[in-house]
């Protein structure tokens, strides 16, 4: 069945027409618009359907939104121009029979159901690590924030998606450097959530801590960058190759990977995710496909004391398919 899928964030809104046939999905058309350039989602959806449907009946639709959903509306925390996604307004304006709204990590968790082997890459060696069919699955991803969700098996072979705000749990340091980072962040923010460290802004904050509190050398390319570019600059200078990376950027990224691995392990323990752990978002594919950082992540993931052997058996995958949110929205439209 052809469905309209949407993936709406604070900066961009992506739309696609997707054919869903069981566990297979084929994208037929797609578009992307800047949130700041629109008064709402109704105009872009109407234009997209007019171009790509050719007068055919409007399909069922589902929109994943990086915001809080209340009733049938969701507020988008846009950087430039916040606006609301309203399901009933979309139905009226675009002639859609039914619009579903879901949280973006609900969509990510649902999208995992449509992934194939070509859409993921294991973190660390696969030997001895096997997903248990029908067991809980965990999905998390660091980006602008830290999203988390769980996928639990139901008796009829369907899966129940449980979105969470687990990224806002208290940050738990795992070594003396992270202890000092927590104190430094607490002085600035009061309570410190994991998202304060494990996110794009968190990477920048860790770099800033290393320079301002630890006396590490500043990186000129980072210092001269606009705030929105500092995170990518830190990552780029950290990944400069053997001996070529800026030492403070390397230290910031290594701390980020340590926290990422530890938090992924915490999430796996929360629901005994022996069905596997999936890492979504744009940061993981850019860093954890490198063998040394993947190994570092796995060390932190497995380091759970008496439960180390359990964690060591759980596979972790980086999702490399950039259309995860669209796939999840399309899948949810069929549920």
Return the HEC string of the chain: CEEEEEEECCCEEEEEEEEEECCEEEEEEEEEEEHHHCCCCHHHHHHHHHHHHCCCCCCCEEEEECEEEECCEEEECCCCCCCEEEHHHHHHHHCCCCEEEEEHHHHHHHHHHHCCHHHEEECCCCCCCCCCCCCCEEEEEECCCEEEEEEEECCCCCEEEEEECHHHCECCCCCHHHHHHHHHHHHHHCCCEHHHCCCHHHHHHHHHHHHHCCCCCCCHHHHCCCHHHHHHHHHHHHCCCCCCCCHHHHHHHHHHHHHHHHHHHHHHHHHCCCCCEEECCCHHHHHCCCHHHHHHHHHHHHCCHHHHHHHHCCCEEEECCCCHHHHHHHHHHHC
Cβ atoms of 287 and 239 closer than 8 Å: yes
8: left (phi over 0), alpha (psi -120 to 50) or beta: beta
Query: Nearest to residue 95, comparing CAs of 63, 58, 128?
Result: 58
Report whether 9 contacts 35 (CB < 8 A): yes
Beta bridge partners of 65: 8, 103
Measured between alpha carbons, how far is 77 from 75 in angstroms, rounded to an integer?
6
Show pLDDT as tens, one digit a residue, over the chain (335 residues).
899 999 998 778 999 999 988 778 899 999 999 988 988 999 999 999 999 997 788 889 999 998 778 889 987 655 445 688 999 999 999 999 999 999 999 999 999 999 999 999 999 988 889 999 999 999 999 988 899 999 999 988 889 999 898 999 999 999 999 999 999 999 999 999 999 999 999 999 999 999 999 999 999 999 999 998 999 999 999 998 655 789 999 999 999 999 999 999 999 999 999 999 999 988 999 999 899 999 999 999 999 999 999 999 999 999 999 999 999 999 999 87
pTM for this prediction? 0.91
- What is the rounded distance in angstroms from the CA atom of residue 64 to the CA atom of residue 280? 14
Task: Label residues 276-301 b or e (16+ Cβ within 10 Å = b).
Answer: bbbbbbebbbebbeeeebbebbbebb
- Residue 43 neighbours by CB under 8 Å, 6+ apart: none
Residue 50, C-beta contacts closer than 8 angstroms, at least 6 positions apart? none
Taken in order of first residue, the domains within the chain and their CATH numbers are: 2-111+323-334 (3.30.420.40), 127-314 (3.40.367.20)
CA 16 to chain centre: 19
Identify whether the C-beta of residue 18 lies closer than 8 Å to the C-beta of residue 25.
yes
Nearest Cα neighbor of 265 from 158, 161, 124 is 124
């Amino acid at each position: 069945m052809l469905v309209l899928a949407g993936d709406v964030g604070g900066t961009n809104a992506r739309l696609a027409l997707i054919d869903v046939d069981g566990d297979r999905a084929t994208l037929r058309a797609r578009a992307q618009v800047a949130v700041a350039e629109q008064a709402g989602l109704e105009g872009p959806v109407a234009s997209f359907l007019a171009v790509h449907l050719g007068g055919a009946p409007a399909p069922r639709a589902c929109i994943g939104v990086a915001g809080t959903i209340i009733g049938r509306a969701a507020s988008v925390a846009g950087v430039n121009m916040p606006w609301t996604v309203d399901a009933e307004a979309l139905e009226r304006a675009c002639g859609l029979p039914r619009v579903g709204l879901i949280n973006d990590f609900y969509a990510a968790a649902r999208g995992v159901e449509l992934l194939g082997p070509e859409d993921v890459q294991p973190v660390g060696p696969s030997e001895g690590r096997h997903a248990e069919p029908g067991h809980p699955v965990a999905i998390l991803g660091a980006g602008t924030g830290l999203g988390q969700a769980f996928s639990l098996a139901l008796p009829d072979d369907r899966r129940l998606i449980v979105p969470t705000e687990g990224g806002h749990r208290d940050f738990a340091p795992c070594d003396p450097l992270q202890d000092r980072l927590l104190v430094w962040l607490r002085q600035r923010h009061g309570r410190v959530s994991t998202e304060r460290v494990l996110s794009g802004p968190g990477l920048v904050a860790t770099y800033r801590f290393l320079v301002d509190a630890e006396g590490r050398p500043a990186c000129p390319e980072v210092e001269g960058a606009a705030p929105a570019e500092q995170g990518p600059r830190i990552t780029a200078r950290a990944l400069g190759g053997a001996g070529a990376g800026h030492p403070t950027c390397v230290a910031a990224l290594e701390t980020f990977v340590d926290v990422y691995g530890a938090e992924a392990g915490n999430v796996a323990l929360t629901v005994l995710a022996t069905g596997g752990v999936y890492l979504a978002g744009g940061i993981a594919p850019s860093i954890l496909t490198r063998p040394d950082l993947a190994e570092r992540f796995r060390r932190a993931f497995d380091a759970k004391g008496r439960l180390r052997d359990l964690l060591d058996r759980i596979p972790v995958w980086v999702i490399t398919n950039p259309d995860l949110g669209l796939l999840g929205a399309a899948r949810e439209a069929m549920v």
